[in-house]
Structure 1
Amino acid sequence: MSKNFEKNGSKPRVLSLFSGCGGMDFGVEAAGGHVIFSNDILVDACKTLENYFPGADIRTEDVSNILTFPEADIVVGGYPCQSFSMAGNRDPEKDERTNLYKQFLRAITIVRPKYFVAENVSGLKQLSSGTFLKEQIDAYGQAGYVVNYQVLNAKDYGVPQSRKRLLIVGVRKDLNQVFNFPAPTHGKTTKSSGQLQPYASHGEAIKDLPLWPEGEFYERLHDPEGHFSWYYMSRNRKAKWAEPAYTVVANFRHITLHPASPVMTLTWSDLANGWKQRWDFSDQYEHLEADPRRPKLEKARRLSWRECARIQTFSNDFEPVGDTASKFTQIGNAVPPKLAEAIFTHLFTGAGLIAADTYLPKTK
């Protein structure tokens, strides 16, 4: 049986840590919550938060230096994930960021919120057979919380991007509740999934933006090798117009291609010798075959920061503070606001809350 979300006021009071430029915070407020406190170590990210959350107490400093926190119904945050990322060094035992969850845990033990929501990369679940994830789940349990976790793909909730992330949700044990994650709303309809909306097209999400926005995307100027390094050309970087984008990353050099770019084709492969490949641009434009009115880029380019923000589901007028590289870092590290909204709406309405003594956990 569903139960109510327990809060002290008319709106859930939310304490946000490792907030970045506010992807999770925007989702919180869209779902009816109120962010009262945000923190990040990046100056530009906090200046962005100040522009969009003027009523919140925003702290620009290392969270370990913050000794007191305000009372809140829920603590949320996406502690840095590079040590667990498939694109990172993946050696968490030697990376100090691995233990940043302990700062999130410390805040929980101080505030004693009724609920918490933590986000991390899906690699945390696989790495070392789940050892590092188990360490965190056990720690939250010892702190007095009933914990559930699940890897979600943002495209399953209407985000025009394939982006897998691990969500960990805790409920204080005295509430006798456990959180059950929302079912996907988008995807391919099957007998088991029921009627789903189609995946969102990232091409459609950005088609009204300038086709060549000078200064808003990474270019290798004055380089004899051209705009794309050999490493960049070692894989297909172009998602189809009508499909969700590939994952938006934080490094603007590795951002994937605008869907109006020509199709990339595999021209050379030596998988037996270091998994080396070479992809090159063809003269094909798959998106025009479906609709010749769509825009066309004669010269391929990476997505702009503004396009990445749109694909991440930030509002159309959203602009983070900082230079181009900083904008990409903030946008690429963010939780898609639309995904966050789906999670927090499911939580705040009580739709995802089940009596703990009747809940049968799914096999992870």
Structure 2
Amino acid sequence: MKVASFFAGCGGLDMGFRQAGYEVVWANEFDEAIHKTYQFNHPNTFLCKSDIRTLKAADIPDCDGFIGGPPCQSWSEGGKQLGLEDERGKLFFDYIRLIREKRPRFFLIENVQGIINDRHFNTFLLFLSTLEDAGYVVSYSLLNAADYGIPQDRHRVFIVGFLKELNCTFCFPKPLGKPYVTLRRAIGDITESPRQYVNEKVIQEYGEWHNHDIFAGLWDAKFMARNRVRSWDETSFTIQAQAKNCPLHPQAPKMKYVSQSQRVFLQGSEHLYRRLSIRECARIQTFPDRFLFFYDKVQDGYKMVGNAVPPRLAKFLALAIKESLNANPIRDEKPVNVLVAYYKDDDQLCLTLKNKLYYVRAGLRRGALQIPKGMVYPVYLLLHNH
């Protein structure tokens, strides 16, 4: 199957879909600082460098699916959370516009957890309803990358949609669960000292490890407000796009508590505290070592890695989408849908049957059973106890 990638970045989603057997035929990325990295690692994909706001359906080759993660800064809990008041937040609508115009069989959208918090949830529902009105059955879920063999806690929202006429039923991949992949397993073999940079131009000279560069800038008060060290036998904190906020290497002891808003480095061990290198972050994001990042400023390297979807997680999602498409019922057979309801005791069952009170909490509001708009009505009702 062929897919087109939007807001491609360095291509974490793209790599995962390729690993799952898809062909990424076309990708769009506007940031010129990323172009060399993308083209080197995805030589068989045509890279469109235009602003997505200028694109039309005719600019995109025919394909089975769209994949992409619109900019997250507008929704991130660590930012100003301007939502649609931020021009970057409005790019979400441009992605939806192209989905409406091109009508691929499926789409996938990724974004940060903040997009479903109380401040932005109504906007999120607007995005979903717009996609449903475009002719798609839409599902969404909040996933933690650590549950899928990725050595970091990374909560992200994924939206997956299929054309209604396909009658696809989508299930998000089941978590692998514990034991989680630890930092020791992910980066324990990288023992070479990293190269340090602040604002000077990076010299692309490689030792044993490519991109083994660190940002050596100062630690600000916000960074020192909480512990930033995870031990070797734990998963990493979220790999972030800002170099200054990168988690610290597990060689250092955990930071000492001073107050609710302040931690300090353990006295006598100050020399052990350093940020994870770009290569170490890439490992934690599950990029293979052959995946090279090109940048003049070390900050750009962290940005590329931190903004990416971990390829391993992308592969799990790609396989789940493929399974849904392959399990698609024969077109001339009407699918049978069963609605399941629960009753507490025989008295409640009698009352339900007598008055035909077949109520199920449905819709997109929180705490409700998720029944996407566009699903066909159930044929049977199954009442059960225990």
TM-score > 0.5 by shorter chain: yes
Once residues 171 and 135 of structure 2 are traced to their aligned partners in structure 1, the CA distance between those partners, rounded to angstroms, is 18
Alpha-carbon distance, 1:315 to partner: 0.6
Matched, 1:212 2:212: no
Counterpart Cα distance in 1 of 2:35 and 2:63: 20
Kindly indicate whether the alpha-carbon contact (under 8 Å) linking 2:251 and 2:272 is maintained by their aligned counterparts in 1: no
Amino acid at match of 1:199: Y
The residue type equivalent to 1:336 in the other structure is P
Equivalent in the alignment of 2:21: 32
1:84 pairs with 2:75: yes
Looking at structure 1, the residues matched to 243 and 265 of structure 2 have their Cα atoms a distance apart, in angstroms, of 20
The aligned runs of 1:131-280 (5 Å cut-off) are 131-187=122-178, 198-215=179-196, 216-220=213-217, 227-269=218-260, 277-280=261-264
Q: How much does 1:354 deviate?
A: 7.0
> Where does residue 336 of structure 1 map in the other structure?
310
Structure 1 stretch 137-146 or stretch 103-112: which is displaced more? 103-112
Greater RCO between the two (CA within 8 Å, min separation 6)?
1
Q: Contact 1:75 / 1:115 at 8 angstroms: preserved in 2?
A: yes
1:55 lines up with 2:44 in the alignment: yes
The answer to which of 78-87 and 41-50 deviates more is 41-50
- What RMSD over aligned residues (CA atoms) do the two structures have, in Å? 2.1
TM-score (normalised: structure 1): 0.83
Aligned to 1:117: 108
TM (norm. structure 2) is: 0.78
State the partner residue of 1:293.
none
Q: How does 1:309-348 map to 2 (within 5 A)?
A: 309-323=282-296, 324-348=298-322
Letter matched to residue 244 of structure 2: R
Which has the larger Rg? 2
- Deviation at 1:44? 2.5
**Hey, what does 1:292 align to over in structure 2?**
none
Larger CA deviation: 203-212 vs 118-127 = 203-212
The separation in 2 between residues aligned to 1:261 and 1:301, in whole angstroms, is: 8
**What secondary structure does 1:242 align onto?**
coil
Q: Does the residue aligned with 1:128 lie in a helix, a strand or coil?
A: coil
| Equivalent-residue separation in structure 2 for 1:155 and 1:245 (angstroms) | 9
Deviation at 1:65, TM superposition (A): 1.7
Alignment partners' CA distance in 2, 1:204 and 1:127: 37
Q: Distance in 2 between matches of 1:93 and 1:131?
A: 11
CA contact (8 A) 2:41 2:292 kept: no
* Residue in 2 that maps onto 1:106: 97
Offset at 1:357? 6.1
More off after superposition, 307-316 vs 118-127 = 118-127
Q: Which amino acid aligns with 1:338?
A: R
**Unpaired runs of at least 5, structure 2:** 197-212, 330-334, 340-361, 363-367, 371-386
Structure 1 residues without counterparts, runs of 5 or longer: 1-11, 188-197, 221-226, 270-276, 286-296
> Partners in 1 of 2:170 and 2:268 — Cα distance?
47
Q: Deviations over 1:242-290 (max 9, x none)?
A: 1110000101011010011122120223xxxxxxx211222699xxxxx
What secondary structure does 1:108 align onto?
A: helix
Residues 170 and 178, structure 1, Cα contact 8 Å, conserved in 2: no
Q: How many residues align?
A: 319
The alpha carbon displacement at 1:79 in A equals: 0.6
